[in-house]
Amino acid sequence: MLILFIAYLGGVLTILSPCILPVLPFVFARADRPFRSHGLPMLLGMALAFAAVATLAAVGGGWIVTLNEYGRHAAIALLALFGLTLLFPGVAERLGRPLVALGVRMSEPRGGDGAAPASGFSPLLLGVGTGLLWAPCAGPILGLILTGAALNGASVGTSLLLLAYAAGACTSLAAALLFGGRVFSVMKRSLHTGEWVRRAAGAAVLVGVGAIALGLDTGLLARLSVGTTSALEQALVDRIKPGKPQPEPVALREDAGLLRVSDDRTAPPPARELRVEGRFPSLAGATEWINSAPLAPEALRGKVVLVDFWTYSCINCLRTLPYLRAWAEKYKDAGLVVIGVHSPEFAFEKQPANVRKAVKDLGIGFPVALDNDFAIWRGFDNQAWPAFYFIDAEGRIRHHQFGENRYDKAEQVIQQLLAEAGQTRIAAGLVAPLGQGTQAAPGAEPALSGETYLGHERAHGFASPGGIARDHAKAYQPAASALRTNQWSLAGDWTVEAERAVLNGANGRIAYRFQARDLHLVLGPAANGKPVRFRVLMDGKPPLADHGSDTDAQGYGVIDAQKLYQLVRQAEGSRERLFEIEFFDAGAQAYAFTFG
């Protein structure tokens, strides 16, 4: 009930957001109608339409987003017609077409015979149309609801939360509607300007339609909303999960609702009491197990368990592996079980064969659960890659931490939980493994370049002329002027898809001006599995001592698997450089840059 109430309050606050402005003309245009028979059905239609579309958009995939676009176009046309009937009722009646007649009926205060009140169906339909266009700023509360829906799947709870949010917004709009009705009545009595007011309402409706059609409702107005409701909503969000432990200060990067986490701190935080954070969730959602038969919390009772959420193309995850392997080996006889939960980011990471190969190549000997459906992720209410969850011998989660580093603290937690379980012979000291290649520790200086996706769904910093042609082949040209820091460009014939860029012919290139010690690129070979040869240049020259583990000193390398490739490791630390990679064969797949 508390979450529903907070969602409702979040909806109430939308009236304070500039991005609600395009909706208001549709509301005020009916301010002179009886609230029970006109205003209430319209607001109900808005709430139902918004809750339905938001639920489907969160859990239904891309098809519902496309379907809703058609719904928006239809709603824009319908409500534009409604505005025109307010402006030109005589012309609308003479046209006599079905849709125009519908628009006229929707604008009439009484039934067709002039005696009975109009039914609630017309304002309800108008409300549904308005709801399809309703785009309140996605503040913290709505973002939390939609993210939870995307991760947790379809549920009655999701729809109730969205309906509560919509009901809150409609409450604010209802107050505005009642107030507007009184103002309208006063104006009619004192100024005898009913016809003028109706025409002004029609003009306002058309302005609102135009703003929505031009994308101002989700673009400019959404940006203007920053700082209006966000602070108030965040205070409410903080009450949704009171007492939930927060991670130590880390640098967070958003990945479509999910997070990768890096942490440049090296000193462990002070020791603190380990309180109970919850029970060990089920592992039954795993689609496959590697290095083990299926495991269950009940069978692990009496063991201390470390659960690691990771994905094999994530550089932050890869750099934790030397410590996980070392802990698994050092404490196995004392009762520690390390479980890797592989929750994929890219489509190729869902393929069991790819994960099995990665586990073997990375030298992982502990059990790995394939969490392709994010069932285990949801059970832990996880938020990040990488994430450690420490579970005691009683099956209780006692600690968690997100991101790299703080390994001393993590090992001290392991030792404490083993001691609580009655182990008296626990190996002393702390491990200090040295990772190699992509598993090596990040540089001492923080990277000033951040994760950059090449698929159009999350791309930013693109500098080639003409921008990205989504899902269509295009001959790209290098940027007309020198790239600025954190800008990138394509050259050659590429098709930029949602999560990757695919090279259609030989000799395509990617350039990126970055500042970091290491540069990594998630790559894949041709769709038929044929390897792709490439060469890397730094400031137009071979990398020499600055080459990565997947290239030689002259910059040559081969893409033979879908994974993260380390292409640059600068010998003299972090410096700004121009990176270029040329692919000698067609079919190269490029997903994302990461740095360290």
Q: What is the pLDDT of residues 214-268, one digit of tens each?
A: 544 444 443 333 344 444 544 554 444 433 333 333 333 333 334 444 444 333 3
Does residue 343 sit in the same domain as residue 382?
yes
Of 41-50, 209-218, 286-295, which gets the smallest average pLDDT? Answer: 209-218
pLDDT recorded at residue 253:
35
**Most confident segment among 38-42, 98-102, 376-380:** 376-380
Give domain status of residue 285, yes or no: yes
Per the structure, the complete domain to which residue 305 belongs is given by 251-439
Does residue 284 sit in the same domain as residue 417?
yes
pLDDT recorded at residue 137:
44
Give domain status of residue 20, yes or no: yes
Q: Which amino acid is at 548?
A: G
Of 117-121, 272-276, 382-386, which gets the smallest average pLDDT? Answer: 117-121
Residues whose CB falls within 8 Å of the CB of residue 468, separated by 6 or more in sequence, listed in order? 456, 459, 462, 496
pLDDT above 90: residue 16? no
**Among 439, 472, 492, residue at a domain's last position:** 439
Please give the mean pLDDT across all residues of the chain. Answer: 76
Give the burial string for 455-480 (b: 16+ CB within 10 Å, else e): bbeebebbbbeeebeeeeebebebbe
Q: Is this structure's pTM higher than 0.85?
A: no
Report the distance separating Cα 573 and Cα 560, nearest Å.
29
Does residue 133 sit in the same domain as residue 7?
yes
Give domain status of residue 428, yes or no: yes
Give domain status of residue 238, yes or no: no
**Among 396, 417, 439, residue at a domain's last position:** 439
Q: Give the count of domains, the chain.
A: 3
Give domain status of residue 223, yes or no: yes
CATH code, 590: 2.60.120.260
Average pLDDT over residues 155-167: 70
Give domain status of residue 505, yes or no: yes
Report the distance separating Cα 307 and Cα 376, nearest Å.
10
Does residue 273 sit in the same domain as residue 191?
no
Does residue 377 sit in the same domain as residue 326?
yes
Residues whose CB falls within 8 Å of the CB of residue 377, separated by 6 or more in sequence, listed in order? 151, 309, 341, 343, 371
Average pLDDT over residues 507-523: 96
Does residue 325 sit in the same domain as residue 347?
yes
Give domain status of residue 447, yes or no: no
Give domain status of residue 88, yes or no: yes
pLDDT digits (tens, 9 = 90+) for 283-323: 999 999 999 999 999 999 999 999 999 999 999 999 999 99
Residue 38 is classified by DSSP as: I
Q: State the DSSP string of 102-134.
A: HHHHHH-SB-TTSSSBPPTHHHHHHHHHHHHH-
pLDDT recorded at residue 556:
97
- 558 has which bridge partners? 533
pLDDT above 60: residue 437? yes
**Of 545 and 190, which is predicted with more confidence?**
545
Does residue 149 sit in the same domain as residue 32?
yes
Report the distance separating Cα 121 and Cα 123, nearest Å.
6
pLDDT recorded at residue 213:
56
- 589 has which bridge partners? 502, 524
pLDDT above 90: residue 553? yes
Does residue 75 sit in the same domain as residue 190?
yes
Q: For residue 135, with 0-12 CB atoms within 10 Å meaning exposed, 13-18 middle and 19 or more buried, which class applies?
A: buried
Does residue 221 sit in the same domain as residue 275?
no
Does residue 457 sit in the same domain as residue 389?
no
CA 194 to chain centre: 48
CATH code, 403: 3.40.30.10
- Site of tokens 């380990």: 274
Does residue 176 sit in the same domain as residue 309?
no
**Among 415, 439, 463, residue at a domain's last position:** 439
Does residue 300 sit in the same domain as residue 175?
no
Of 171-180, 213-222, 315-324, 498-507, which gets the smallest average pLDDT? Answer: 213-222
